Structure 1
Amino acid sequence: MKPEIRQQILRLGGRVTAPPVATLPEFLQATTFAHPLYPRRYAEEVLGLDVFYDQNRDLYAANPAAFDEALLLHFFADHELPYGQDFFRNFRFTPFTPDTPDYGELEDLVSPADLHSVVAGTDPLEFICICYSYGFPDHYFVCLSDPAPDNPTVYGTDHEVFFQEITAVGTLENFFSRYLSKEEFLAIAQQHFAARNAAE
Protein backbone atom coordinates (compact mmCIF):
# COMPACT_ATOMS: atom_id res chain seq x y z
CA MET A 1 0.00 0.00 0.00
CA LYS A 2 1.27 3.48 -0.83
CA PRO A 3 2.64 5.17 2.29
CA GLU A 4 0.59 8.26 1.37
CA ILE A 5 -2.62 6.30 1.93
CA ARG A 6 -1.60 5.36 5.45
CA GLN A 7 -0.65 9.00 6.03
CA GLN A 8 -4.06 10.15 4.80
CA ILE A 9 -5.80 7.75 7.18
CA LEU A 10 -3.70 8.95 10.10
CA ARG A 11 -4.35 12.60 9.10
CA LEU A 12 -8.07 11.87 9.41
CA GLY A 13 -7.73 10.28 12.84
CA GLY A 14 -7.91 6.70 11.67
CA ARG A 15 -5.85 3.73 12.82
CA VAL A 16 -4.03 1.13 10.73
CA THR A 17 -2.64 -1.95 12.46
CA ALA A 18 -1.50 -3.71 9.26
CA PRO A 19 2.25 -3.94 8.55
CA PRO A 20 3.68 -2.18 5.48
CA VAL A 21 3.77 -5.48 3.55
CA ALA A 22 0.06 -6.21 4.08
CA THR A 23 -2.13 -7.17 1.14
CA LEU A 24 -4.96 -4.89 0.05
CA PRO A 25 -7.68 -6.78 2.00
CA GLU A 26 -5.41 -7.11 5.05
CA PHE A 27 -4.70 -3.38 4.98
CA LEU A 28 -8.34 -2.31 4.62
CA GLN A 29 -9.61 -4.74 7.23
CA ALA A 30 -6.96 -3.50 9.67
CA THR A 31 -8.09 0.11 9.19
CA THR A 32 -10.57 1.65 11.64
CA PHE A 33 -12.08 5.02 12.44
CA ALA A 34 -13.71 5.73 15.79
CA HIS A 35 -15.71 8.56 14.26
CA PRO A 36 -17.42 9.63 11.02
CA LEU A 37 -15.66 11.38 8.14
CA TYR A 38 -16.70 14.80 6.85
CA PRO A 39 -16.35 15.46 3.12
CA ARG A 40 -14.81 18.77 2.10
CA ARG A 41 -18.19 19.79 0.69
CA TYR A 42 -19.35 20.02 4.32
CA ALA A 43 -18.08 23.61 4.24
CA GLU A 44 -20.93 24.46 1.84
CA GLU A 45 -23.72 23.46 4.28
CA VAL A 46 -22.21 23.16 7.81
CA LEU A 47 -25.07 20.96 8.98
CA GLY A 48 -25.58 20.94 12.73
CA LEU A 49 -23.20 23.77 13.59
CA ASP A 50 -25.86 26.38 14.33
CA VAL A 51 -27.82 24.01 16.57
CA PHE A 52 -24.66 23.14 18.49
CA TYR A 53 -23.77 26.83 18.81
CA ASP A 54 -27.23 27.74 20.09
CA GLN A 55 -27.06 24.98 22.70
CA ASN A 56 -23.55 26.01 23.83
CA ARG A 57 -23.56 29.80 23.36
CA ASP A 58 -22.56 30.50 26.96
CA LEU A 59 -19.58 28.16 26.73
CA TYR A 60 -18.52 29.82 23.46
CA ALA A 61 -18.46 33.21 25.18
CA ALA A 62 -16.86 32.05 28.42
CA ASN A 63 -14.28 29.52 27.22
CA PRO A 64 -13.69 29.25 23.45
CA ALA A 65 -11.10 26.47 23.85
CA ALA A 66 -13.53 24.33 25.86
CA PHE A 67 -16.23 25.07 23.28
CA ASP A 68 -13.96 23.89 20.46
CA GLU A 69 -13.14 20.70 22.36
CA ALA A 70 -16.83 20.01 23.02
CA LEU A 71 -17.65 20.66 19.36
CA LEU A 72 -15.09 18.14 18.14
CA LEU A 73 -16.21 15.57 20.70
CA HIS A 74 -19.77 15.98 19.49
CA PHE A 75 -19.22 15.93 15.74
CA PHE A 76 -16.51 13.26 15.78
CA ALA A 77 -18.33 10.84 18.07
CA ASP A 78 -19.42 7.49 16.67
CA HIS A 79 -23.01 8.52 16.01
CA GLU A 80 -25.22 8.69 12.95
CA LEU A 81 -26.84 12.11 13.37
CA PRO A 82 -27.41 13.35 9.81
CA TYR A 83 -24.70 15.97 9.37
CA GLY A 84 -23.72 14.97 5.84
CA GLN A 85 -20.87 12.77 7.04
CA ASP A 86 -19.61 9.46 5.68
CA PHE A 87 -18.89 6.31 7.68
CA PHE A 88 -15.89 4.05 7.16
CA ARG A 89 -16.95 0.43 7.21
CA ASN A 90 -14.72 -2.31 5.81
CA PHE A 91 -17.00 -5.26 5.10
CA ARG A 92 -16.11 -7.86 2.52
CA PHE A 93 -18.62 -8.54 -0.26
CA THR A 94 -18.21 -11.75 -2.27
CA PRO A 95 -21.33 -12.20 -4.45
CA PHE A 96 -19.55 -14.34 -7.07
CA THR A 97 -17.47 -16.60 -4.80
CA PRO A 98 -19.06 -20.00 -4.09
CA ASP A 99 -19.43 -21.13 -0.49
CA THR A 100 -19.35 -17.60 0.93
CA PRO A 101 -22.25 -15.90 2.76
CA ASP A 102 -22.77 -13.36 -0.05
CA TYR A 103 -22.68 -15.83 -2.93
CA GLY A 104 -25.59 -15.29 -5.32
CA GLU A 105 -26.69 -12.02 -3.73
CA LEU A 106 -26.53 -10.21 -7.07
CA GLU A 107 -28.00 -13.09 -9.08
CA ASP A 108 -30.46 -11.89 -11.75
CA LEU A 109 -29.33 -8.30 -11.06
CA VAL A 110 -25.81 -8.03 -12.43
CA SER A 111 -23.20 -10.44 -13.76
CA PRO A 112 -19.39 -10.38 -13.54
CA ALA A 113 -19.35 -9.51 -17.24
CA ASP A 114 -21.49 -6.45 -16.54
CA LEU A 115 -19.13 -5.31 -13.80
CA HIS A 116 -16.03 -5.90 -15.90
CA SER A 117 -17.17 -3.10 -18.21
CA VAL A 118 -16.29 -0.68 -15.37
CA VAL A 119 -14.39 -2.60 -12.69
CA ALA A 120 -10.81 -3.71 -13.26
CA GLY A 121 -10.13 -7.05 -11.61
CA THR A 122 -10.05 -10.79 -12.08
CA ASP A 123 -12.72 -13.39 -11.44
CA PRO A 124 -14.18 -14.15 -9.05
CA LEU A 125 -14.69 -10.44 -8.36
CA GLU A 126 -14.53 -9.73 -4.64
CA PHE A 127 -14.90 -6.38 -2.94
CA ILE A 128 -14.52 -4.50 0.28
CA CYS A 129 -17.16 -1.83 0.79
CA ILE A 130 -15.14 0.84 2.55
CA CYS A 131 -17.61 3.61 3.19
CA TYR A 132 -21.27 4.53 3.19
CA SER A 133 -22.90 7.95 3.30
CA TYR A 134 -26.14 9.88 3.24
CA GLY A 135 -25.43 11.14 -0.27
CA PHE A 136 -25.40 9.66 -3.74
CA PRO A 137 -23.77 7.27 -4.24
CA ASP A 138 -24.15 5.97 -0.73
CA HIS A 139 -21.69 3.05 -0.88
CA TYR A 140 -18.03 3.06 -1.91
CA PHE A 141 -15.98 -0.04 -2.58
CA VAL A 142 -12.71 -1.36 -3.98
CA CYS A 143 -12.11 -4.54 -5.94
CA LEU A 144 -9.70 -6.84 -4.13
CA SER A 145 -8.09 -7.97 -7.40
CA ASP A 146 -7.53 -4.41 -8.60
CA PRO A 147 -4.46 -4.29 -10.89
CA ALA A 148 -3.03 -1.49 -8.71
CA PRO A 149 -3.37 -2.96 -5.19
CA ASP A 150 -1.07 -0.31 -3.71
CA ASN A 151 -3.58 2.41 -4.69
CA PRO A 152 -6.76 0.78 -6.03
CA THR A 153 -9.67 2.47 -7.74
CA VAL A 154 -12.65 3.36 -5.57
CA TYR A 155 -16.11 2.86 -7.07
CA GLY A 156 -19.45 4.23 -5.99
CA THR A 157 -22.87 2.62 -6.06
CA ASP A 158 -26.21 3.34 -4.42
CA HIS A 159 -28.42 1.07 -2.34
CA GLU A 160 -31.31 1.52 -4.78
CA VAL A 161 -29.23 0.20 -7.70
CA PHE A 162 -26.67 -1.76 -5.66
CA PHE A 163 -23.86 -2.78 -8.02
CA GLN A 164 -26.19 -2.42 -11.01
CA GLU A 165 -24.96 1.15 -11.50
CA ILE A 166 -21.37 1.84 -10.54
CA THR A 167 -18.99 4.72 -11.17
CA ALA A 168 -15.24 5.05 -10.71
CA VAL A 169 -14.60 7.94 -8.34
CA GLY A 170 -10.79 7.94 -8.23
CA THR A 171 -7.92 6.24 -6.46
CA LEU A 172 -7.98 5.29 -2.79
CA GLU A 173 -5.43 8.01 -2.04
CA ASN A 174 -7.61 10.62 -3.71
CA PHE A 175 -10.68 9.23 -1.97
CA PHE A 176 -9.24 9.85 1.48
CA SER A 177 -8.02 13.30 0.45
CA ARG A 178 -11.64 14.38 -0.03
CA TYR A 179 -12.21 14.37 3.74
CA LEU A 180 -11.54 17.01 6.37
CA SER A 181 -9.16 16.46 9.26
CA LYS A 182 -10.41 17.53 12.68
CA GLU A 183 -8.27 20.65 12.40
CA GLU A 184 -9.75 21.55 9.02
CA PHE A 185 -13.28 20.90 10.32
CA LEU A 186 -12.64 23.12 13.34
CA ALA A 187 -11.30 25.93 11.14
CA ILE A 188 -14.51 25.82 9.06
CA ALA A 189 -16.63 25.90 12.22
CA GLN A 190 -14.69 28.79 13.72
CA GLN A 191 -15.03 30.78 10.52
CA HIS A 192 -18.76 30.09 10.44
CA PHE A 193 -19.25 31.18 14.05
CA ALA A 194 -17.16 34.32 13.55
CA ALA A 195 -19.25 35.29 10.52
CA ARG A 196 -22.46 34.58 12.44
CA ASN A 197 -21.37 36.74 15.38
CA ALA A 198 -20.34 39.57 13.08
CA ALA A 199 -23.78 39.51 11.48
CA GLU A 200 -25.69 39.52 14.78
Structure 2
Amino acid sequence: QAKGIWNPMAVHQWFEFENTDQDNLGRVIQSSGSHVDLDFGYSFQFLTHARHALISVYTAGPELEQKSKNASYNGDLLEAYFLDLIGLIVLSKVEQTVKEIAEKKARDLGWGVSPFLSPGSIHGWELEEQLKLCTLLPLEKINVKIREDAVLSPFKTISCFIGLGPGYDTVQVGTTCQVCSKNHDCQMKQN
Protein backbone atom coordinates (compact mmCIF):
# COMPACT_ATOMS: atom_id res chain seq x y z
CA GLN A 1 0.00 0.00 0.00
CA ALA A 2 3.00 2.31 0.45
CA LYS A 3 4.27 1.81 -3.10
CA GLY A 4 4.59 5.07 -4.96
CA ILE A 5 3.86 7.35 -2.01
CA TRP A 6 7.42 8.37 -1.33
CA ASN A 7 9.12 10.91 -3.49
CA PRO A 8 12.70 11.42 -2.31
CA MET A 9 14.34 14.62 -3.50
CA ALA A 10 17.54 16.44 -2.64
CA VAL A 11 19.38 19.66 -3.34
CA HIS A 12 23.06 20.14 -2.69
CA GLN A 13 25.77 22.66 -3.44
CA TRP A 14 29.51 22.95 -2.98
CA PHE A 15 30.97 25.89 -1.10
CA GLU A 16 34.36 27.12 0.01
CA PHE A 17 34.73 26.98 3.77
CA GLU A 18 37.07 28.70 6.17
CA ASN A 19 37.72 29.05 9.87
CA THR A 20 36.88 32.58 11.05
CA ASP A 21 39.30 32.38 14.00
CA GLN A 22 36.32 33.19 16.22
CA ASP A 23 35.06 30.58 18.67
CA ASN A 24 33.27 27.81 16.80
CA LEU A 25 32.37 29.96 13.78
CA GLY A 26 32.84 28.65 10.29
CA ARG A 27 32.38 30.74 7.16
CA VAL A 28 30.57 29.35 4.13
CA ILE A 29 31.60 31.34 1.05
CA GLN A 30 29.16 31.55 -1.84
CA SER A 31 30.24 31.79 -5.48
CA SER A 32 29.10 35.45 -5.47
CA GLY A 33 31.69 36.16 -2.75
CA SER A 34 29.10 36.75 -0.05
CA HIS A 35 29.26 34.53 2.99
CA VAL A 36 27.26 33.03 5.83
CA ASP A 37 28.83 32.44 9.24
CA LEU A 38 27.60 29.36 11.08
CA ASP A 39 28.04 28.74 14.80
CA PHE A 40 28.84 25.03 15.03
CA GLY A 41 29.36 25.12 18.78
CA TYR A 42 31.34 22.19 20.14
CA SER A 43 30.94 20.42 16.79
CA PHE A 44 33.33 22.86 15.10
CA GLN A 45 36.12 20.49 16.16
CA PHE A 46 35.08 18.29 13.21
CA LEU A 47 35.66 21.11 10.72
CA THR A 48 39.12 22.41 11.58
CA HIS A 49 40.53 20.74 8.43
CA ALA A 50 37.67 21.71 6.09
CA ARG A 51 38.38 23.85 3.01
CA HIS A 52 35.21 22.97 1.09
CA ALA A 53 31.73 21.96 2.19
CA LEU A 54 28.92 19.94 0.71
CA ILE A 55 25.63 21.29 2.02
CA SER A 56 22.47 19.36 1.28
CA VAL A 57 18.80 19.16 2.18
CA TYR A 58 16.85 16.04 1.32
CA THR A 59 13.36 14.75 1.94
CA ALA A 60 11.19 11.65 1.67
CA GLY A 61 8.45 13.93 0.33
CA PRO A 62 5.06 15.07 1.62
CA GLU A 63 2.96 12.17 0.33
CA LEU A 64 4.38 9.64 2.78
CA GLU A 65 3.91 12.01 5.71
CA GLN A 66 0.29 12.68 4.76
CA LYS A 67 -0.49 8.97 4.34
CA SER A 68 1.01 8.27 7.79
CA LYS A 69 -1.01 11.09 9.38
CA ASN A 70 -4.20 9.76 7.76
CA ALA A 71 -3.53 6.23 9.01
CA SER A 72 -2.90 7.52 12.53
CA TYR A 73 -6.02 9.70 12.45
CA ASN A 74 -8.09 6.69 11.33
CA GLY A 75 -6.72 4.59 14.19
CA ASP A 76 -4.56 2.33 12.03
CA LEU A 77 -1.49 2.74 14.22
CA LEU A 78 0.33 -0.26 12.77
CA GLU A 79 0.07 1.17 9.25
CA ALA A 80 1.19 4.58 10.53
CA TYR A 81 4.17 2.94 12.24
CA PHE A 82 5.21 1.07 9.09
CA LEU A 83 4.83 4.18 6.95
CA ASP A 84 7.05 6.04 9.42
CA LEU A 85 9.66 3.28 9.14
CA ILE A 86 9.52 3.45 5.35
CA GLY A 87 10.17 7.19 5.58
CA LEU A 88 13.25 6.58 7.72
CA ILE A 89 14.54 3.98 5.24
CA VAL A 90 14.01 6.37 2.33
CA LEU A 91 15.92 9.11 4.17
CA SER A 92 18.72 6.67 4.96
CA LYS A 93 19.10 5.76 1.28
CA VAL A 94 19.21 9.41 0.19
CA GLU A 95 21.72 10.15 2.97
CA GLN A 96 23.97 7.42 1.61
CA THR A 97 23.87 9.03 -1.84
CA VAL A 98 24.77 12.44 -0.38
CA LYS A 99 27.70 10.89 1.49
CA GLU A 100 28.91 9.18 -1.70
CA ILE A 101 28.89 12.53 -3.55
CA ALA A 102 31.17 14.01 -0.86
CA GLU A 103 33.42 10.94 -0.78
CA LYS A 104 33.91 10.97 -4.56
CA LYS A 105 34.84 14.66 -4.57
CA ALA A 106 37.30 14.08 -1.69
CA ARG A 107 38.95 11.20 -3.55
CA ASP A 108 39.20 13.31 -6.73
CA LEU A 109 40.95 16.08 -4.75
CA GLY A 110 43.15 13.72 -2.75
CA TRP A 111 41.49 14.99 0.44
CA GLY A 112 39.44 13.49 3.24
CA VAL A 113 36.02 14.20 4.73
CA SER A 114 34.49 15.24 8.02
CA PRO A 115 31.71 13.33 9.74
CA PHE A 116 28.11 13.92 8.66
CA LEU A 117 26.86 16.97 10.60
CA SER A 118 23.25 18.08 10.94
CA PRO A 119 21.98 21.05 12.97
CA GLY A 120 20.13 20.03 16.11
CA SER A 121 21.23 16.42 15.98
CA ILE A 122 24.80 16.77 17.23
CA HIS A 123 26.18 18.26 20.41
CA GLY A 124 26.74 21.98 20.07
CA TRP A 125 25.27 22.74 16.67
CA GLU A 126 21.90 24.16 17.61
CA LEU A 127 18.80 23.63 15.48
CA GLU A 128 18.39 27.40 15.08
CA GLU A 129 21.49 27.42 12.86
CA GLN A 130 19.45 25.44 10.32
CA LEU A 131 17.74 28.73 9.44
CA LYS A 132 21.06 30.16 8.19
CA LEU A 133 22.22 26.90 6.62
CA CYS A 134 19.06 26.58 4.55
CA THR A 135 19.40 30.08 3.09
CA LEU A 136 22.26 28.64 1.03
CA LEU A 137 20.07 26.22 -0.93
CA PRO A 138 17.04 26.49 -3.25
CA LEU A 139 14.62 24.54 -1.02
CA GLU A 140 11.72 25.39 -3.31
CA LYS A 141 13.17 23.00 -5.92
CA ILE A 142 12.31 20.07 -3.64
CA ASN A 143 9.13 21.54 -2.12
CA VAL A 144 10.69 21.94 1.33
CA LYS A 145 10.01 24.84 3.65
CA ILE A 146 11.69 25.92 6.87
CA ARG A 147 9.52 27.29 9.65
CA GLU A 148 10.48 30.16 11.96
CA ASP A 149 11.31 27.60 14.68
CA ALA A 150 13.92 26.10 12.29
CA VAL A 151 11.98 22.86 11.70
CA LEU A 152 11.88 21.61 8.12
CA SER A 153 8.65 20.59 6.42
CA PRO A 154 7.82 17.89 5.39
CA PHE A 155 8.94 16.43 8.70
CA LYS A 156 10.95 13.62 7.06
CA THR A 157 13.53 16.14 5.79
CA ILE A 158 17.18 16.52 6.82
CA SER A 159 19.82 19.18 6.28
CA CYS A 160 23.50 18.33 6.46
CA PHE A 161 27.01 19.66 6.19
CA ILE A 162 30.07 17.60 5.20
CA GLY A 163 33.50 19.22 5.27
CA LEU A 164 36.31 18.31 2.86
CA GLY A 165 39.96 19.13 3.29
CA PRO A 166 43.55 17.92 3.07
CA GLY A 167 43.90 17.30 6.81
CA TYR A 168 41.26 14.58 7.19
CA ASP A 169 42.38 10.98 7.63
CA THR A 170 39.42 9.29 5.99
CA VAL A 171 37.56 9.46 2.68
CA GLN A 172 34.50 7.78 4.17
CA VAL A 173 31.89 10.05 5.76
CA GLY A 174 31.30 8.80 9.28
CA THR A 175 29.39 9.91 12.34
CA THR A 176 30.26 11.88 15.45
CA CYS A 177 29.54 8.86 17.65
CA GLN A 178 33.24 8.27 18.32
CA VAL A 179 33.47 11.38 20.52
CA CYS A 180 30.13 11.02 22.29
CA SER A 181 30.30 10.29 26.02
CA LYS A 182 27.54 7.68 25.61
CA ASN A 183 29.17 5.74 22.77
CA HIS A 184 29.96 2.69 24.92
CA ASP A 185 26.35 1.85 25.71
CA CYS A 186 24.28 3.79 23.18
CA GLN A 187 21.34 1.97 21.61
CA MET A 188 21.40 4.33 18.61
CA LYS A 189 25.14 4.28 17.87
CA GLN A 190 25.97 4.49 14.17
CA ASN A 191 29.06 3.12 12.48
Q: Same fold (TM over 0.5)?
A: no
TM-score for both structures, normalised by structure 2: 0.27
Q: Which has the higher helix share?
A: 1
The structure with the largest alpha-carbon Rg is 1
